[in-house]
């Protein structure tokens, strides 16, 4: 089976990290607009907000982690955290489920959404 799933916590962490970089890049880009104080300020502000929101995302991960269920991965025997009904192991990306009904069913992120209409993830 082709394993391409990432643990949700790891995914959010990657997102938070990229936000920091995006924020720094935006602030850096603002330096090119030194001629216009307004433009530079806007860039700095957006960059600052991006960096700030990454901090918020990190806090959010912290709260999610406390809610996540700790399980021992049957594949690599490491302790990992499962968020929602299905998630992937943080170490080996083995799909894991907490719902016995989904045991053996092919891993699908959409099991986490109750109304799986046209939600983009």
User: Residues binding Zn ion: what is the number (CB under 5 A)?
Assistant: 7
Which residue number, 19 or 83, has a Cβ lying nearer to Zn ion? 83
**Closer of 27 and 81 to Zn ion (Cβ):** 81
Residue whose CB is less far from Zn ion, 54 or 94: 94
Number of neighbours of residue 66 by Cβ within 10 angstroms? 7
Q: By CB under 5 A, is residue 92 in contact with Zn ion?
A: yes
Closest approach, Cβ 89 to Zn ion, in A, equals 3
Segment contacting Zn ion by CB under 5 A, of 6-14, 39-47, 67-75, 110-118: 67-75
* Binding footprint of Zn ion on the chain (CB under 5 A): 73, 75-76, 89, 91-92, 94
């Amino acid at each position: 089976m082709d394993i391409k799933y990432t643990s949700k916590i790891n995914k959010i962490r990657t997102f938070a990290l990229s936000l920091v970089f995006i924020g720094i890049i935006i602030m850096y880009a603002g330096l090119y607009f030194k001629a216009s104080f307004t433009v530079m300020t806007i860039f700095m502000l957006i960059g600052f907000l991006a960096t700030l929101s990454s901090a918020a995302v990190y806090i959010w991960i912290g709260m999610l982690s406390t809610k996540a269920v700790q399980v021992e991965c049957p594949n690599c025997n490491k302790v990992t955290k499962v968020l929602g009904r299905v998630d992937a192991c943080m170490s080996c990306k083995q799909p894991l489920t907490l719902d016995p009904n989904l045991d053996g069913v092919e891993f699908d992120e959409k099991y986490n959404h109750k109304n799986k209409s046209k939600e983009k993830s």
